[in-house]
Amino acid sequence: MSTVAGEMDHTDHHHHAPSGITRWLFTTNHKDIGSMYLWFSFIMFLVGGSMAMVIRAELFQPGLQLVDPHFFNQMTTVHGLIMVFGAVMPAFTGLANWMVPLMIGAPDMALPRMNNWSFWILPFAFAILLASLFMEGGGPAFGWTFYAPLSTTYSSDSTALFVFSVHIMGISSIMGAINVIVTIMNMRAPGMTYMKMPLFVWTWFITAFLLIAVMPVLAGAVTMVLTDKYFGTSFFDAAGGGDPVLFQHIFWFFGHPEVYIMILPSFGIISAIIPAFSRKRLFGYSSMVYATAAIAGLSFIVWAHHMFTTGMPVAAEIFFMYATMLISVPTGVKVFNWVATMWRGSITFETPMLFALAFVILFTIGGFSGLMLAITPVDFQYHDTYFVVAHFHYVLVSGAIFSIMAAAYYWLPKWTGHMYDETLAKWHFWCSLISVNLLFFPMHFAGLAGMPRRIPDYSLQFADINQIVSIGGFAFGLSQLIFLWVVIKCARGGEKAPAKPWEGAEGLEWTVPSPAPYHTFETPPEVK
């Protein structure tokens, strides 16, 4: 790695980049790699979304209509894996690649060749995962959480492929995270102190530390599943002296920081967009930084709130309950700061702002249902019901995904040099907003009424709710095609975007022309 950095001499840039496919295969340019990450994540979003459509089509009516239960389980599993590791995480890495160097005044990422690697191993990981669906016995069907013994004793032969693909995804994220940390620590423009960094940079900095702390634990967990299944070890097999509950501890030690990995960069995006369209500075910058760090720190001591029903001692349940509730304090600080930023601002409602506003409201709803789930005694009722499904889709879809959409609209003029079609974008927003609530809000009621998650069939009394949810699901899926249309239209042409298309926007990324030239900040800007 050191030689890669050492060879980065700023006098011998390739001014004639290779063309055609090799440009993309061999590129070490952060903007190219960022674009590839974003396109890849969008493709995965559509692939994972199609699986959600299969799930919602099957659940449209009670009874078994379209797919057999084993295939249904594969759909829920692979939908989860693809959305987490293929859509949300690469989208954030793509945004980091594009925006972190531009925001801190760096010419590129610190480790550009490793950057190329961390992207290009991803398509192989997902090719392996998707190929496993076509194997005899089917693909992974044990849920994205791959609890033992479902993933060891009772899994199909394709589990080895699942394990290897997760290994590759993990290596990719770790390399991406190392790159972000080194870039932020070593490549900031003169005068860009840590407390002057834009919040997107700060939140990604903290996210990257979470990634290098927990992705190796995930790698360990899948490795143990692999050896338990194929090499006769008994990490999770009670007959051999292991313990299946241990799996859940290891998995959620990774899994809970992981959910913050998928939301902290969102906080950074929203903290850039709300001030821009309120035409005010962000309220409470330093408290935002400390709140992000606090959330990241707390994420390591709350994992067992996913396991309240495993028969933990009361003392442990109470500890994890209060630790979890504590997280709502720094999160509340953030929501308060966003609202305070808007207070008496001159607000305009361009599409990025609309998505950001929807984020604040809907993410807060997801946060509240999370708080409800944190209450140990009631979790016994909510556990493994559609209430949980509603909760994490509120924070991940109307949270993380909405923030990614907001970011895309906010920075599309910088990326493409054209303004996107505001009318179409507003259509995308309103269709998404209405359908996402139609899709996920009724799930709360289904869950409270006792409908379990991850099942292809259900009792008749849930039929109406599921029909509404499915209609919302199809509408939300179709709405995303509008987004695709807007992005393609914007990339192909449109009104020329000025260097700073948003009146209230701040940051170094708006000091370079639109579209951002292939090489930027080769002479570092001076930050005062």
Partner 1 sequence: MATNDPTPNNARPDNARVVKRLLFVVVGMFGFGFALVPLYEVFCDITGFNGRTKNEQAAVNTRQIDTSRTINVQFITRVNKGMPWGFSPEVNSVRVHPGETKVVNFLASNPTGQNMVAQAIPSVAPGEAGLYLNKTECFCFNQQPLAAGADTKMPMQFYLDPDIPEHIHTLTLSYTMYDMTANAQPDVLATFEATPSAD
Is the distance from CB of 374 to CB of 431 less than 8 angstroms? Answer: no
Q: How many residues does this entry show for the chain? A: 528
Compare residues 59 and 224 and give the one whose CB is closer to partner 1. 224
- Which of the following is catalytic: 56, 305, 428, 500? 305
Which one of 87, 250, 298, 321 is in contact with partner 1 (CB under 8 A)? Answer: 250
The token pair at 288 is 């935002």
Q: Does the annotation count 2 as an active-site position?
A: no
Compare residues 218 and 374 and give the one whose CB is closer to partner 1. 218
- Which of the following is catalytic: 39, 144, 147, 485? 144
Compare residues 200 and 363 and give the one whose CB is closer to partner 1. 200
Compare residues 245 and 463 and give the one whose CB is closer to partner 1. 245
- Cβ count near 241 (within 10 Å): 8
Q: Which residues pair with 385 in a beta bridge?
A: 452
Binders of partner 1 in range 313-342 (CB under 8 A): 313, 316
Distances (CA, A) of 7 to 2, 11, 13, 106, 401: 9, 11, 11, 16, 37
Binders of partner 1 in range 160-179 (CB under 8 A): 174, 177-178
Compare residues 279 and 519 and give the one whose CB is closer to partner 1. 519
State CA 115 to chain mean position distance: 19
Q: Does the annotation count 108 as an active-site position?
A: yes
Q: Does the annotation count 260 as an active-site position?
A: yes
* Span interacting with partner 1, options 46-54, 135-143, 240-248, 426-434, rule CB under 8 A: 240-248
Min separation Cβ 190 and partner 1, Å: 5
Cα–Cα dist 488/480, whole Å: 13
Omega of the bond leading into 149 within 30 degrees of 0 (cis): yes
Q: What are phi and psi of 231, to 5 degrees?
A: -120, 15
CA torsion angle for 172, 173, 177, 179 (degrees, to 10)? 20
262 lies in the binding site for partner 1 (CB under 8 A): no
Cα–Cα dist 144/313, whole Å: 27
* Span interacting with partner 1, options 238-246, 273-281, 323-331, 441-449, rule CB under 8 A: 238-246
- Which of the following is catalytic: 152, 271, 292, 479? 271
Q: Does the annotation count 514 as an active-site position?
A: no
Compare residues 34 and 149 and give the one whose CB is closer to partner 1. 149
The candidate with the shortest Cα–Cα distance to 256, out of 327, 150, 172, 360, is: 327
* Span interacting with partner 1, options 156-164, 247-255, 329-337, 459-467, rule CB under 8 A: 247-255
Min separation Cβ 195 and partner 1, Å: 8
Q: Which residues pair with 418 in a beta bridge?
A: 496
Which one of 22, 310, 381, 461 is in contact with partner 1 (CB under 8 A)? Answer: 310
* Span interacting with partner 1, options 2-10, 63-71, 271-279, 338-346, rule CB under 8 A: 2-10
CB under 8 Å, gap of 24 or more: what pairs does 47-55 form?
47/82, 47/86, 47/130, 48/78, 48/79, 48/82, 48/83, 48/86, 48/87, 49/477, 49/480, 50/477, 51/75, 51/78, 51/79, 51/82, 52/79, 52/473, 52/477, 53/473, 53/474, 53/477, 55/79
528 lies in the binding site for partner 1 (CB under 8 A): no
Using DSSP, state whether 320 is helix, strand or coil.
helix
Task: Give 387's contacts (C-beta < 8 A, 6+ positions apart).
Answer: 369, 372, 373, 443, 444, 446, 447, 448
Min separation Cβ 120 and partner 1, Å: 19
Which one of 224, 270, 356, 374 is in contact with partner 1 (CB under 8 A)? Answer: 224
Q: Does the annotation count 334 as an active-site position?
A: yes
217 lies in the binding site for partner 1 (CB under 8 A): yes
110 lies in the binding site for partner 1 (CB under 8 A): yes
Q: Does the annotation count 453 as an active-site position?
A: yes
Q: Does the annotation count 271 as an active-site position?
A: yes
Which one of 46, 57, 67, 245 is in contact with partner 1 (CB under 8 A)? Answer: 245
Q: Does the annotation count 341 as an active-site position?
A: no
Omega of the bond leading into 198 within 30 degrees of 0 (cis): no
Q: What are phi and psi of 387, to 5 degrees?
A: -65, -40
75 lies in the binding site for partner 1 (CB under 8 A): no
259 lies in the binding site for partner 1 (CB under 8 A): no
* Span interacting with partner 1, options 66-74, 245-253, 277-285, 397-405, rule CB under 8 A: 245-253
- Which of the following is catalytic: 27, 41, 132, 173? 173
189: left (phi over 0), alpha (psi -120 to 50) or beta: beta
54 lies in the binding site for partner 1 (CB under 8 A): no
Q: Does the annotation count 172 as an active-site position?
A: yes
Which residues lie near partner 1 (CB under 8 A)? 1-2, 5-6, 10, 105-107, 110-111, 153, 174, 177-178, 181-182, 185-190, 192-195, 212-221, 224, 235, 238-240, 243, 245-246, 249-250, 253-254, 310-313, 316, 521, 523-524
Cite the active site residues: 79, 108, 144, 172-173, 256, 258, 260, 271, 305-306, 331, 334, 453
